[in-house]
């Protein structure tokens, strides 16, 4: 998948697919995500002592990080959300949110190092 970065901005590669590696990458490249990441980890995994939800947790935060690490892509997704919230046309809002969903879905396919 081609990066959506501005020409002078290098998009960091995806980390290994582990909670620790993903958290380190978030700290480095998308620290604005860290409070929600940690809160979600605590609520879904740490406080329950249940590792069952780790796969779903990783899927969600893998996509969140993949978008946030690329400023141009992050801005595009935010713009789609903003436009969907502002339009009075249901069909337009639906199309905008479907585009967001497609972007998020495509992020799932990224491999470590990409």
Q: What is the pLDDT of residues 48-73, one digit of tens each?
A: 999 999 999 999 999 999 999 999 99
Q: What is the pLDDT of residues 6-42, one digit of tens each?
A: 456 789 999 999 999 999 999 999 999 999 999 999 9
On whether the CB atoms of residues 77 and 30 are closer than 8 A, the answer is no
So where are the chain's domains? 19-107
Which tokens go with 32? Answer: 């604005």
Q: What is the pLDDT of residue 5?
A: 44
Contacts of residue 56, defined as CB under 8 A and 6 or more positions apart, other chains included, come to none
């Amino acid at each position: 998948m081609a990066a959506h970065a501005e020409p002078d901005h290098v998009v960091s590669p995806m980390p290994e697919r582990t909670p620790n590696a993903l958290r380190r990458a978030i700290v480095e490249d998308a620290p604005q995500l860290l409070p929600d990441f940690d809160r979600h980890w605590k609520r879904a995994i740490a406080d329950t002592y249940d590792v069952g939800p780790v796969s779903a947790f990783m899927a969600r935060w893998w996509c969140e990080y993949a978008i946030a690490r690329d400023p141009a892509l992050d801005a595009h997704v935010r713009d789609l959300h903003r436009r969907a919230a502002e339009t009075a046309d249901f069909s337009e809002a639906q199309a905008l949110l479907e585009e967001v969903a497609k972007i998020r879905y495509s992020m799932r396919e990224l491999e470590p190092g990409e």
